[in-house]
């Protein structure tokens, strides 16, 4: 999953980005409001971590403009104090998903992000995803097939996780690239079939369906080939 960290405190932004990359998120970072607005407009992010106090354009203005353009990705606001009730109200009106106060509890932030990217909202968070014979623990970053552990590379895990979250529809190679690789990693849609092939080798040849003209989808009844 791909996340934008929009925070003017460079040290904090790097701490958050490092934590998320360790958890197999693709992460883009910006410290400037106008630059962050453009990134959010031009790229498909699964979530945004947003600081209100940004230079060139404040965070609430960035969020409001995104919502006016119809962008609905979850946005978690990092606020300096629980006493900033007025700011909280402004953020909610602008379309914020949730608030966390500084100093940031990184584990709590990670829980919120896992929730919004796994199931559309933290109130119905699903730390374990199961599709057919495939089981994914999104907190431990572990995968099983037919109850047997499967070792995946970070890239393979990202693609499998995204397919699992969006299993109700086929996912195109372009979408897999947009949501799972940050600006520092060059991946093209032409490489996706290679990773799909590797996943099929590890999870069974029928584990991932090719829906011609649309993309890929996890098979509901994936099982080891005999």
Q: Is residue 224 in some structural domain?
A: no
Q: pLDDT at position 126, please?
A: 56
- Within this chain, do residues 117 and 184 fall inside the same structural domain, yes or no? no
pLDDT top residue among 103 and 117: 103
**Angular region, 120: left φ>0, alpha ψ -120 to 50, beta rest:** left
Q: What is the mean pLDDT of residues 33-59?
A: 92
Per-residue model confidence (pLDDT) at position 122? 39
Position 221 confidence tier, pLDDT thresholds 50, 70, 90: very low
Tokens of 179: 């949501």
- Domains identified in the chain, total number: 2
Q: What percent of the chain has pLDDT over 90?
A: 41
Last residue of a domain, one of 124, 151, 182: 124
pLDDT surpasses 80 at 183: no
Any residues with CB less than 8 A from the CB of 194 and at least 6 apart, and which? none
Q: Is 226 among the domain residues? A: no
Nearest to 63 by CA among 88, 26, 86: 88
Same domain (yes/no): 140, 172: yes
Report the CATH number at residue 183: 1.10.10.10
């Amino acid at each position: 999953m791909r996340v934008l960290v929009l925070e003017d405190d460079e040290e904090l932004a790097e701490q958050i980005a490092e934590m998320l990359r360790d958890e197999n998120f693709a992460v883009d970072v910006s410290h400037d409001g106008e630059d962050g607005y453009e990134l959010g407009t031009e790229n498909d992010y699964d979530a945004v971590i947003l600081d209100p106090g940004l230079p060139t354009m404040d965070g609430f203005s960035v969020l409001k403009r995104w919502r006016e353009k119809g962008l609905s990705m979850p946005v978690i606001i990092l606020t300096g104090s629980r006493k900033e009730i007025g700011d909280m109200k402004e953020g909610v009106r602008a379309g914020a998903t949730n608030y966390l106060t500084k100093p940031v509890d990184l584990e709590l932030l990670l829980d919120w992000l896992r929730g919004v990217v796994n199931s559309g909202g933290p109130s119905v968070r699903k730390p374990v995803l199961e599709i057919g014979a495939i089981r994914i623990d999104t907190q431990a970053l572990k995968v099983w097939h037919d109850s047997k552990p499967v070792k995946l590379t970070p890239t393979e895990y990202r693609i499998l996780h995204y397919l699992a979250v969006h299993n109700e529809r086929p996912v195109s190679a372009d979408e897999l690239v947009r949501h799972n690789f940050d600006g520092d990693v060059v991946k093209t849609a032409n490489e996706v079939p290679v990773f799909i092939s590797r996943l099929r080798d590890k999870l069974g040849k029928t584990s991932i369906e090719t829906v011609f003209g649309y993309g890929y989808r996890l098979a509901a009844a994936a099982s080891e080939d005999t």
